[in-house]
């Protein structure tokens, strides 16, 4: 019988590009290849070929069958971090030309440690994405109610347009005060720019803040607009290269990508900056999907790859959403699934501080090219992966399914010369100490994730994934009373898998100015209801236009209405979905406020409620989605605790806990439901490795998920 493949999802991380392919029966296979940042289509094809090879699929046939192809990654984030985006001009309201230089107070200190926040001598501002020389203001003003107080001075606008276009820019961003309330002045500025471009013979993209992010708070809005101009379009070119490579091989659809708040969007989506952290978000979506399968309401998801250690919470079956995340030291009005991250990946460089003679980890890493020393691709700076390799944790002959042969003598030589000899320890003991430091970082971050939110570890299932996630899973859960500890044979491509578990959706937002007293009468509530109806109707029309432009059938769209509600005088909103049918009546306002009170109580405590302060609704949103087909995990019959003979691959020496010990080696793909492996053992998959300490055991459940349990 010919295998019918359903979809492909790919996560291009800082080190590896992971592919997850699922067929119509719910079976899946994963492929891996080094990330190729100079042309991501190369890593895309190499990774898919690795997956096709395992199933014996013909490339042309498989690509022609895909109903969906999702590509997520960190290219845009890396573009911001390295400041390698496009040359952009910025036109703003006169008097606010320094907005990028001044920044917002909370943004100025973003990314600094507690000690550095206390001592301002260490502080420096962000380098602005647009230089002051390429920023100009024009005379105009719209007030917060949307009234045009000062019409655009067109002579002024033409002079500014001529100047900006003479600065060798590759795009122009326009961000006027309060344009979210009335975009008329921005739209007229765009028209003038088009006229001048025609005169001087250029054709450049123009980005209006009222279109990119029409919400209150000028700093967040100008950040979103300039990032869209500076970093999003270069990434779009990479995405189109990936799509073209797929099309040449028979792909019939259009490529999609992952949005930071969950959901898929076409790569032609006009607000591509919403995909800024698309890769790690896929992992959180996958964790949420699995949590529903296993009936776990509370999950701590931890993702360790080659570059970073990311972790996020699912509490009471829902994500924590951050409406104004800080990303790459920018504060954005971009709702995102909340994730924390540390530079703790397995690709971190390791060195010795020449002054203190102490081991230093990171912050830089080897990445995909050239990779760790043991990859033997030219890098001679030791990494955490080299420590894992020389101490026996990794299979030198089966890394990435044998595609990479690890050069252990080279890694040992460099680790000895650069680390062990300098601190006066045998090389394996030095490597073990480095791994303990590495593990301690992950342990501290894992505990903080729950404790700082007032949660109890005993209520959470710890879910580990990423290429190196299963390696640290036992360590980060040691002496912690988690409700359960689990991972997956496909942990190395879990973020890619997560991209297949979400719907095709877009989120549209708009600022509003609605307030209600505690004892508001029916007429006042009806006026607010009418205003909300108007906003949601406008957002629905925008969704129709967007879905049509992306070739999607908007008649299949399901809409979810959201209001951001706060008590009067408070600074933070609560995202309140309206789950029923919106009729636009005063009674609907009562339902909305009751939902807010219920959510507020869950988030804080009942005593924190303060309804007598009244309510404010300063932003609304509409989520438009089309349901997609999801992977399936059928429950398999229990095959008993003893793994089949094909799963046992022999023994290997591991240097662990200060001495060499013998560990049993098992192939995860060959294990069956119900199998149990006692530690000390290593469960291997071409894309990941699970360490089972001597005081733990690994159990494969009926869906072939792997649980790490105490003996």
Q: What is the mean pLDDT of residues 454-482?
A: 88
- pLDDT tens-place string over residues 393-430: 888 887 766 677 889 999 999 999 999 999 999 999 99
Residue 651 has pLDDT above 60, yes or no: yes
Residue 2 has pLDDT above 70, yes or no: no
Number of H helices, E strands in the chain: 20, 35
- pLDDT tens-place string over residues 170-218: 999 999 999 999 999 999 999 999 999 999 999 999 999 998 888 888 8
- In the chain, % of residues over pLDDT 90: 40
Q: How confident is the model at residue 58 (pLDDT cuts 50, 70, 90)?
A: confident
Q: What are 189's two structure tokens?
A: 């500025």
- pLDDT tens-place string over residues 282-323: 889 999 999 999 999 999 998 887 777 888 888 888 887 777
Q: What is the pLDDT of residue 331?
A: 76
Q: What is the pLDDT of residue 419?
A: 92
Q: What is the mean pLDDT of residues 31-52?
A: 85
Q: Distance between CA 305 and CA 191 in Å, rounded?
A: 47
Q: What is the pLDDT of residue 193?
A: 96
> Looking at beta carbons, which pairs linking 268-272 to residues 24 or more positions away fall under 8 Å?
268/236, 268/549, 268/550, 269/506, 269/546, 269/550, 270/211, 270/212, 270/546, 271/212, 271/213, 271/228, 271/232, 272/76, 272/228, 272/232, 272/233, 272/235, 272/236
Of residues 195 and 348, which shows the higher confidence score?
Answer: 195
Of residues 238 and 482, which shows the higher confidence score?
Answer: 482
- pLDDT tens-place string over residues 598-624: 988 877 778 888 999 999 999 999 999
Q: What is the pLDDT of residue 1?
A: 47
Q: What is the mean pLDDT of residues 514-537?
A: 95
Burial of 612 (0-12, 13-18, 19+ CB in 10 A): exposed
C-alpha separations of 595 from 318, 390, 514 in Å: 15, 56, 17
Q: What is the mean pLDDT of residues 458-474?
A: 89
Residue 360 has pLDDT above 80, yes or no: yes
- Asked which of 25-34, 513-522, 572-581 is least confident by mean pLDDT, the reply is 25-34
Tell me if residue 5 falls in helix, strand or coil: strand
Under 8 Å between Cβ of 653 and 662: yes
Q: Distance between CA 129 and CA 227 in Å, rounded?
A: 8
Q: What is the pLDDT of residue 187?
A: 96
Q: What is the pLDDT of residue 652?
A: 93
Domains of the chain are 5-79+235-275 (3.30.420.40), 83-231 (no CATH), 278-342+440-498 (3.30.420.40), 348-437 (no CATH), 506-626 (3.30.1490), 645-694 (no CATH)
- Which residues are CB-contacts of 482 (< 8 A; sequence separation ≥ 6)? 300, 457, 458, 460, 461, 462
């Amino acid at each position: 019988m010919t295998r019918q493949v359903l979809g492909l999802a790919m996560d291009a991380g800082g080190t590896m590009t992971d592919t997850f392919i699922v067929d119509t029966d719910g079976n899946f296979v994963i492929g891996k290849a080094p990330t190729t940042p100079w042309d991501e289509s190369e890593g895309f094809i190499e990774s898919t070929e690795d997956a096709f090879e395992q199933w014996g699929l013909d490339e042309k046939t498989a690509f022609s069958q895909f109903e969906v192809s999702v590509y997520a990654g960190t290219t845009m984030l890396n573009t911001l971090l390295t400041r390698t985006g496009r040359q952009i001009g910025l036109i703003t309201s006169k008097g606010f030309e320094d907005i990028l230089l001044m920044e917002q107070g909370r943004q100025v200190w973003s990314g600094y440690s507690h000690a550095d926040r206390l001592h301002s001598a260490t502080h420096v501002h962000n380098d602005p994405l647009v230089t002051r020389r390429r920023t100009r203001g024009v005379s105009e003003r719209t007030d917060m109610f949307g009234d045009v107080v000062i019409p655009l001075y067109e002579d002024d606008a033409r002079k500014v347009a001529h100047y900006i276009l003479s600065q060798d820019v590759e795009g122009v961003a326009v961000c006027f005060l309060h344009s979210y309330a009335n975009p008329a002045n921005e739209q007229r500025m765009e028209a003038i720019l088009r006229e001048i471009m025609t005169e001087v013979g250029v054709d450049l993209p123009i980005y209006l803040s009222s279109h990119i992010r029409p919400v209150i708070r000028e700093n967040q809005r100008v950040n979103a607009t300039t990032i869209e101009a500076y970093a999003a379009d270069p990434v779009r070119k990479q995405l189109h290269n990936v799509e073209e490579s797929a099309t040449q091989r028979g792909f019939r659809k259009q490529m999609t990508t992952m949005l930071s708040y969950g959901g898929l969007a076409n790569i032609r989506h006009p607000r591509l900056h919403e995909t800024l952290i698309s890769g790690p978000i896929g992992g959180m979506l996958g964790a949420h999907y699995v949590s529903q399968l296993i009936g776990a309401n509370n999950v701590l998801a931890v993702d360790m790859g080659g570059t970073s250690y990311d972790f996020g919470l699912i509490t009471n079956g829902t994500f924590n959403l951050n409406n104004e995340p800080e990303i790459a030291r920018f504060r954005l009005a971009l709702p995102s699934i909340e994730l924390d991250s540390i530079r703790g990946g397995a690709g971190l460089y390791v060195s010795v501080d020449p002054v203190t003679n102490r081991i230093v980890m990171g912050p830089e890493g080897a990445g995909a090219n050239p990779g760790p020393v043991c990859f033997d691709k030219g890098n001679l700076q030791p990494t955490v992966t080299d420590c894992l390799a020389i101490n026996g944790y990794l299979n030198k002959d089966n890394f990435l399914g044998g595609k990479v042969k690890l050069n252990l003598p080279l890694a040992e030589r460099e680790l000895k010369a650069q680390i062990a000899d300098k601190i006066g320890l045998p090389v394996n003991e030095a490597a073990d100490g480095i791994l303990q430091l590495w593990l301690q970082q992950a342990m501290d971050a894992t505990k903080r994730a729950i404790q700082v939110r007032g949660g109890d570890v005993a209520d959470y299932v710890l879910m580990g994934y990423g290429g190196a996630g299963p390696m640290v899973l036992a360590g980060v859960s040691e002496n912690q009373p988690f409700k359960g500890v689990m991972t997956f044979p496909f942990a190395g491509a879990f973020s890619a898998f997560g991209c297949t578990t979400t719907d095709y959706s877009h989120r549209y937002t708009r600022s509003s100015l609605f307030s209600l007293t505690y004892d508001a009468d029916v007429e006042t509530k009806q006026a607010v209801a009418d205003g909300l109806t108007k906003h949601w109707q406008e957002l629905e029309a925008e969704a129709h236009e967007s879905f049509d432009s992306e070739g999607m059938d908007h008649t299949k769209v399901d809409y979810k209405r959201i209001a951001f509600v706060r008590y009067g005088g408070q600074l933070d909103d609560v995202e309140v979905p309206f789950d029923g049918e919106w009729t636009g009546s005063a009674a609907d306002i009562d339902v909305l406020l009751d939902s807010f009170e219920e959510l507020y109580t869950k988030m804080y405590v009942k005593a924190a409620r303060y309804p007598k302060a009244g309510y404010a609704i300063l932003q609304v949103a509409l989520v438009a989605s089309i349901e997609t087909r999801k992977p399936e995990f059928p429950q398999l019959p229990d095959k008993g605790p003893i793994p089949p003979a094909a799963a046992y691959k022999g023994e290997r020496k591991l240097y662990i806990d200060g001495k060499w010990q013998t560990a049993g080696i098992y192939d995860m793909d060959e294990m069956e439901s119900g199998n149990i492996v006692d530690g000390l053992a290593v469960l291997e998959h071409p894309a990941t490795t699970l360490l089972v300490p001597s005081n733990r055991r690994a159990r494969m459940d009926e869906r072939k998920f792997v649980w790490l349990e105490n003996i």
